[in-house]
Amino acid sequence: MTTSTGTAPSPRALARQRRRASVARFWRRYRAERAGLYGLAVLVLCALLALFAPVFVGSDVSSVTEAPGRPMQSPSAEFPLGTDQFGRDLLGLVIWGSRVSLLVGLLAAVLSVAIGTLIGVTAGHFKGWYATVMMRVTDWFLVMPTLVLAIALVTVMSRSLTTIVVAIGVTTWPTTARLVRAQTLAVETRPYIERAKALGGGHWHIMSRHVLPNVMPLVLAQTTLIISSAILAEATLAFLGLGDPTVVSWGGLLQDAREAGAVSAGDWWYLVPPGIAIAVVALAFTLCGRAVESVLNPRLGVSR
Amino acid sequence: MTADATPALVEERQTAAGPRVRKRSAYPRYLAGKVAGAAVSLLAVLVTSFFLFRLIPGDPVKTMTGGRQVSAEQLAAYREEFGLDLPLWRQFTDYCGKALTGDFGTSYQFRTPVVDKITEALPNTLLLTGTAFVLYTALGIFLGTRSAWRRGGLGDRVNTGLALTLYSIPSFWLGLLLIIVLSVGIGPLPGLFPTGGMESGGEEGFAYVLDVAHHLVLPVVTLVAVEYGQTLLVTRSALLDEMGSDYLTTARAKGLRDDLVRRRHAVPNALLPTVTLIFINLGRTVAGVILVETVFSWPGLGGLFYQALSVPDLPLVQGLFFVFAAAVILMNTLADLVYPLLDPRVAR
Amino acid sequence: MGTNDQTRSLPRGLRLVALAGAAALTLTAGLATPLDPAPRQARAADDGKKVLTVAVAQSVDSLSPFLAVRLLSTSIHRLMYEYLTNYDPKDNHAVPGLATKWEPSPDKLTWTYTIRSDSTWSDGKRATAEDAAWTFNKMMTDDGAATANGSYVGNFEKVTAPSPTKLVIELKKPQATMTALDVPIVPKHVWEKVSDFSEFNNDKSFPVVGNGPFVLTGYKADSYVRLKANKSFWRGAPKFDELVFRYYKDQDAAVSALRKGEVSFVAGSPSLTPAQADSLKGADDIQVNDAPGRRFYALATNPGAKAKNGEKFGDGHPSLLDQRVRNALFMAVDREAIIDKVFRGHAVEGEGYIPPRFQDYFWKPSASRKLAYDPAKAAQLLDRAGYRKNGDGKRVGKDGKPITYRVLCHATDPNDKAVGKYLQEWWGDLGIGVRLDCLDNVTDPWLAGKYDLAFDGWSVNPDPDFVLSIHTCGALPATPKDTGATDNFICDKTYDELYARQLAEYDPAKRADIVKQMESRLYDLGYMNVMAYPNAVEAYRTDQIKSITTMPAKAGNIYGQDGYWSWWSAVPADSGDSSGGSSTAVVAVIATSLVLLIGLGTVVAVRRRAGADDRE
């Protein structure tokens, strides 16, 4: 511990202090990862854009009856990225679309990682038949072709953002579960867990107080990586026409562009920006995830 | 992080390191275990394929006869013909029984045995994925090795950066751009490649082969571009892990030439995790090709699956789902089986 | 160490694989240019044959005329088999097909057709009345054979062929549609060998015996359908030697293929998008055919689904049972904006039920009765009907809850989604919520009556009987468990009486008059609100097709005609270099050897470089 004060601090304050210190340490190391910093900068920028989109572009950017331009105009001073088939401003739509794409990516990743962590920690903690069954289920989900399963799920449920989030979340958790379980097994062999058990710590206590904080960094890295693939998955499902057509998202814009025949008409301005947006954000999340990983595990850091 | 690519092996290693010491005859038992596991997975897939798609709202018989005047008796007759009048559990046992003999029933919309429909489209999908697979694996390993050797250098940074970028690009979007640029042609650039499909139709002999190859280029390039990155990264990281090992230092200390050390010792060992990834990729690509097939009008399984889902053509959907999942299971099992043969540290 | 002989060769092997891969890539890439001399002239195949290639987006459901229902498949059957009658390409009146003459008996119950003696099957046998009688009888007796076209023979009492040139059909009730029997007549001597009609797809042995202008010679699922000209076709041989329908799942791919000359014609599904049409208009050697279509595009309202036995089902919103509400909703739909923004001019504003293309049957409301776009009046109408706005500006139903209509839309139809967005805003201004239910397959909620409004559209035939019949009470399902032929459960006595009268009316002018009265009734009811008649927007290459018949002859469509006129009449553009069958081969040989050389060179070069890397 780096800090010490005159009076003996309470154990709780001590823990808090320790946590703050480790966050600071984490940040110091993260700063050294240049790619990760770039990724983070891009993400912060995107998040700000998405949050303040109502201020920048206004919520009526997606209105079709009050579209300011003619359909399918090429880029001009008035519309830097041209207009879509309703005459709406594409720049505004791309910015507005970031809200849904980021939100869906985020929620899907959180759902996926939450399921994965829950199953991973419990399967690692409770051994025996529970773990066996859970790991079998995980294995089984792991071999399911993700996209096929997601398409099937979306078809089974009604078309909405929730459906998309659930479909992505439910199909992508097994990797997390495996990683978290391995980590849990490793953590539980440490002596202080033995001590906690000896002191009468229950399952819940051990899992929430000792195991979870130790797998949290891994979970964090995993979340960033999964957001990236969740954003891609959202775009994919929307592109296949499985999204909610009344909501503006990047994948939905691509689908609109394709349905309007922008590809063969050569209207690249309709097609290129949403794709770039998806790629940039997915890349940014991947870079952050890799940076987090390499901070947590320097030996792995050079790799992956 | 090879862990996500080789989950089964991470497990295996952990248990193998435990107190249970595996002796000589371990491999056959290991083999039996893996095969049994695969069989269980296949059965589970069979069960899912049956129940999952029953949840799709819609009465297939009404859809099939949609818009036509059909009496309840006729509908009942159709239900009987397709076995939809039986209780669910009977349908299920019939389905399983038939599936075990390789019969997935008759497609509602094409009125052809599902197996025929699948065997018709499967070679096309395999041609596309197979070609792409060979190329992206080769490219990934080649560039991954180079990257690792020149770790931290400009080449490595460019290589890794490019791989990560391409990996983040939606494949369908890349496909559409390639069509605009290389197929439709932009500005002075003429369209060099066909816009879609697998053949022009009517060519024979060698001309046919060339024609198909010509149609193959853009979809393959798309698949390779988005897929090679993963192989590259895994190869690179595995190699870096390996290069830090003591025995390599020893080998070098013995005065072995650097490139010999790499080629004889580092690379073969580092390729082990990659081998697993390769197999898993192969299985995954069969299902993952749906998007590229859609964009390039490739007459494969992906397009068929999509068509079948919208009806819903239950027998066809079930059959295809089974094929997709079976491909992954088969390849994972193969990976599990091959791995210990290559790496003596596992299960021997 | 596990590294010994076996593994030592691994990296080298892999490297070779990599090289081979790179070579393969260069190889295929290199192939591209020489093999594809951009826009190919008139697609002269190896032996100078004139090939007409049509890009289609639909896949074939079945090649058996007894099973096929999709437009592509039935169009192909038009080309393969003669029907009893055909429609004149100029004005849609019935003209001879396999039958040269037809005549009803005075009691209107017996029709006698004279079958031509100059039509032969492609295997040399003569096509006779016996073939026709067998085809109809099969459909009347075998459920499997009635799958696709059973409705045509539902009213048939008996079909006989007293002589090879005479076909007699006896009816149960008079039926005015006897010159519009769109049933392919198949050769008895081939088809009587088929055991199970519900499973036979007619796609195993080629060529398929037929007597139409083209003979089916090859088919590969989701790839192509190939037909060759029937030189002995009684009306005269087609001008093209071959006709190929090529499958493009993606419409953009099809349009690009047209641009490059890979195909001669693109139909679009159901038509090219405005953006595609606009961009093709500027292209060289391409003609965009933008003609009045045969479809109507409507907003159907759920009138409270019920079955013939009176049982009600489904859950349509009760407020829609009020005609004022239905009219108000339609008055808040700016049809001009839909034409202008969604169709971008490639459609005509909707009025009566039958598109103006069928001029004999076209009807439109007088200016005073027209439900013109007028949101203010619509709001008043709703107020008057008792659906007033609450504090939040939302109109509430009789149950006190704000009204939100579920609008059923086809997920695969961009127009549905686009118009849906407009509806959301227009009706939103009225204080009515809209939830778009976009599904790949709308059949289920549709048949179950579980919707409030739905996007609807039908292709209208020259004989309007079918599209009229689907709104009669007789088309309702017998019980909620059955499926009826009904479109959206409309059941109106006045309409039904008119329907029965037109069906028994054999005088065309009088019949047309009754049909117009039916349209007028339908318009007032407000259950079928026609928003637009979308144009058929299609395009072809003028350097491959010199001329082609549209239907109707002036300003009509080419793909999906009633009849085989377009493909039968298409004249190839004469191109000087279309004789170059052998030159194509030469180019191919040169290209291949060139490519092999390049490939080999690359392999050697890369190996050298790789070797250098190894050495360092």
Helices of type H across chain B: 7-16, 26-54, 60-64, 72-81, 88-100, 114-149, 154-168, 171-178, 205-243, 246-253, 258-260, 267-288, 290-295, 301-310, 314-342
Chain B interface includes C117 (CB < 8 A): no
Contact C3, B265 (CB under 8 A): yes
Along the 304 residues of chain A, how does pLDDT read in single tens digits? 444 445 667 777 887 888 888 888 888 888 888 888 999 999 999 999 989 888 878 778 888 888 888 888 888 888 888 888 888 889 999 999 999 999 999 999 999 999 999 999 999 888 788 888 888 888 888 877 788 888 888 877 777 889 899 999 988 898 889 889 888 888 888 888 888 888 887 888 888 888 888 888 888 888 888 998 899 989 988 888 888 888 889 999 998 888 888 887 878 888 899 999 999 999 999 999 888 888 877 554 333 3
Nearby residues of C59 by Cβ (< 8 Å), 6 or more positions away = B307, C70, C72, C221, C222, C247
Q: In what order do the strands lie in the sheet with C99-104?
A: C99-104, C110-115, C166-171, C156-163
* Cβ-count burial B72-105 (b if 16+ within 10 Å, e if not): eebbbebeeebebeeeeeebbeebeeebeeeebb
C601: helix, coil or strand?
helix
Highest averaged pLDDT of the listed ranges A255-264, B182-191, C467-476: C467-476
The DSSP 8-state label assigned to residue B205 in this structure reads H
* Cβ-count burial A184-196 (b if 16+ within 10 Å, e if not): bbebbeeeebeeb
Q: How far apart are CA A82 and CA A84, in angstroms?
A: 7
- For the cut 70, the answer to whether the pLDDT of residue C513 exceeds it is yes
Q: Is C411 close to A245, i.e. CB distance below 8 A?
A: yes
- Tokens, residue A229: 């693939």
Q: What is the mean pLDDT of chain C?
A: 84
Q: Is C256 close to B179, i.e. CB distance below 8 A?
A: yes
- Which chain B residues are closer than 8 Å to C485 by Cβ? 67-69
Q: How far apart are CA C27 and CA C596, in angstroms?
A: 7
Q: How far apart are CA B24 and CA B22, in angstroms?
A: 7
User: Which one, of C430, C450, C431, lies nearest residue C439 by Cα?
Assistant: C450
- Tokens, residue A105: 């990516």
How many Å lie between the alpha carbon of A68 and the closest alpha carbon of chain C?
12
**A129 class by beta-carbon count within 10 Å (0-12 exposed, 13-18 middle, 19+ buried):** exposed
Contact B172, B292 (CB under 8 A): yes
Q: How far apart are CA C83 and CA C146, in angstroms?
A: 16
Phi, psi at C263, each rounded to 5°: -130, 160
Q: What is the mean pLDDT of residues C506-522?
A: 93
> What are all long-range contacts of A265-268, with beta carbons under 8 Å and residues at least 24 apart?
A265/A72, A265/C255, A265/C273, A265/C275, A265/C276, A265/C278, A265/C279, A266/B180, A266/B184, A266/B186, A266/C279, A267/A72, A267/A74, A267/A82, A267/C275, A267/C279, A268/B180
Higher-pLDDT residue of C200, B10:
C200
Phi, psi at C254, each rounded to 5°: -65, -45
Contact C296, C356 (CB under 8 A): no
- Tokens, residue B73: 């008796």
Is the entire prediction scored with pTM above 0.90?
A: no
- For the cut 90, the answer to whether the pLDDT of residue C79 exceeds it is yes
Q: What is the mean pLDDT of residues B324-346?
A: 77
Q: How far apart are CA A106 and CA A168, in angstroms?
A: 11
Q: Is C441 close to B201, i.e. CB distance below 8 A?
A: no
- Residue C323 has a pLDDT of 92
Phi, psi at C529, each rounded to 5°: -105, 105
Cβ within 8 Å of B, C 456-475: 475
Contact C273, C415 (CB under 8 A): no
Q: Which residue do the tokens 């993400």 mark?
A: A43
- Tokens, residue A2: 């780096």
Q: How far apart are CA C213 and CA C549, in angstroms?
A: 15
User: What count of CB pairs under 8 Å joins B to C?
Assistant: 225
- For the cut 90, the answer to whether the pLDDT of residue C405 exceeds it is yes
Q: Is A264 close to C253, i.e. CB distance below 8 A?
A: yes
Q: Model ipTM?
A: 0.85
Which H/E stretch holds residue C538? strand C536-541
Amino acid at A228: S
The DSSP 8-state label assigned to residue B262 in this structure reads I
- Residue A6 has a pLDDT of 52
Chain-centroid distance of CA C62 in Å reads 15
Strand C242-247 relative to strand C347-349: parallel, antiparallel, unpaired? unpaired
- Residue C615 has a pLDDT of 37
Q: Which chains touch C (3 or more CB pairs under 8 A)?
A: A, B
Query: Cα torsion at A155, A160, A165, A171 (round to 10°)?
Result: 0
Q: Is A86 close to C438, i.e. CB distance below 8 A?
A: no
Which residue is closest to B117 within chain C, CA to CA?
C221
Q: Is B287 close to A145, i.e. CB distance below 8 A?
A: yes
Q: Is C36 close to B193, i.e. CB distance below 8 A?
A: yes
Q: Is A293 close to B1, i.e. CB distance below 8 A?
A: yes
pLDDT level of residue C55 (50, 70, 90 thresholds): very high
Q: Is B45 close to A240, i.e. CB distance below 8 A?
A: no
Chain-centroid distance of CA A188 in Å reads 28
Nearest CB among C251, C252, C426 relative to A65 is that of C426
Amino acid at A137: V
Nearby residues of A211 by Cβ (< 8 Å), 6 or more positions away = A121, A124, A125, A184, A187, A188, A193
- For the cut 50, the answer to whether the pLDDT of residue B214 exceeds it is yes
Strand C453-459 relative to strand C404-410: parallel, antiparallel, unpaired? parallel
Q: How far apart are CA C348 and CA C464, in angstroms?
A: 19
Phi, psi at C156, each rounded to 5°: -85, 135
The DSSP 8-state label assigned to residue A83 in this structure reads B
How many Å lie between the alpha carbon of C535 and the closest alpha carbon of chain A?
16
pLDDT (tens digit per residue) in C269-286: 778 888 889 888 888 889
pLDDT (tens digit per residue) in C117-173: 999 999 999 999 999 999 999 999 988 888 888 888 989 999 999 999 999 999 999
Contact C539, C286 (CB under 8 A): yes
Contact C479, B72 (CB under 8 A): yes
- Which chain A residues are closer than 8 Å to C249 by Cβ? none
Q: What is the mean pLDDT of residues C367-381?
A: 92
- For the cut 50, the answer to whether the pLDDT of residue C5 exceeds it is no
- For the cut 80, the answer to whether the pLDDT of residue C27 exceeds it is no
Cβ within 8 Å of B, C 315-344: none
Q: Which CATH superfamily is domain A47-55+85-303 in?
A: MetI-like (1.10.3720.10)
Angle at A293 (CA atoms; ends A287, A297), nearest 5 degrees: 145
Which H/E stretch holds residue C593? helix C581-615
- Which chain A residues are closer than 8 Å to B177 by Cβ? 271-272, 275
- Which chain A residues are closer than 8 Å to B244 by Cβ? 299
- Which chain B residues are closer than 8 Å to A258 by Cβ? 176
Q: Give the Cβ contact number of residue C160 at 10 Å.
A: 14
Phi, psi at A37, each rounded to 5°: -65, -45
Strand C242-247 relative to strand C224-229: parallel, antiparallel, unpaired? antiparallel
Q: How far apart are CA C113 and CA A28, in angstroms?
A: 93
Q: Is C222 close to B299, i.e. CB distance below 8 A?
A: yes
Chain-centroid distance of CA A263 in Å reads 30
In percent, the amount of chain B with pLDDT more than 70 equals 83
- Residue C66 has a pLDDT of 92
User: Which one, of C265, C343, B173, C273, lies nearest residue A264 by Cα?
Assistant: C273
Chain A interface includes C613 (CB < 8 A): no
Strand C545-547 relative to strand C571-572: parallel, antiparallel, unpaired? antiparallel
How many Å lie between the alpha carbon of B41 and the closest alpha carbon of chain C?
31
Phi, psi at B69, each rounded to 5°: -75, 115
Amino acid at A239: F
From the candidates B110, B297, B338, which should be mutated to test the interface with C, based on the most C CB atoms within 10 A?
A: B297
Chain A interface includes C275 (CB < 8 A): yes
Q: Is B63 close to C252, i.e. CB distance below 8 A?
A: no
Nearest CB among A35, A151, A303 relative to B241 is that of A303
Q: Is A279 close to B321, i.e. CB distance below 8 A?
A: no
- Which chain A residues are closer than 8 Å to B164 by Cβ? 283, 286-287
Which residue is closest to C439 within chain B, CA to CA?
B310
Nearby residues of B209 by Cβ (< 8 Å), 6 or more positions away = none
Q: What is the mean pLDDT of residues B249-270?
A: 71
- Tokens, residue C47: 């032996």
- Residue C15 has a pLDDT of 44
Cβ within 8 Å of A, C 475-534: none
DSSP secondary structure letters along C353-404 = SS-TTSTTT-----TTT-----HHHHHHHHHHTT--B-TTS-BB-TTSSBPE
- Residue C242 has a pLDDT of 93
Which residue is closest to B165 within chain A, CA to CA?
A283
Contact C172, C157 (CB under 8 A): yes
Q: Is B169 close to A279, i.e. CB distance below 8 A?
A: yes
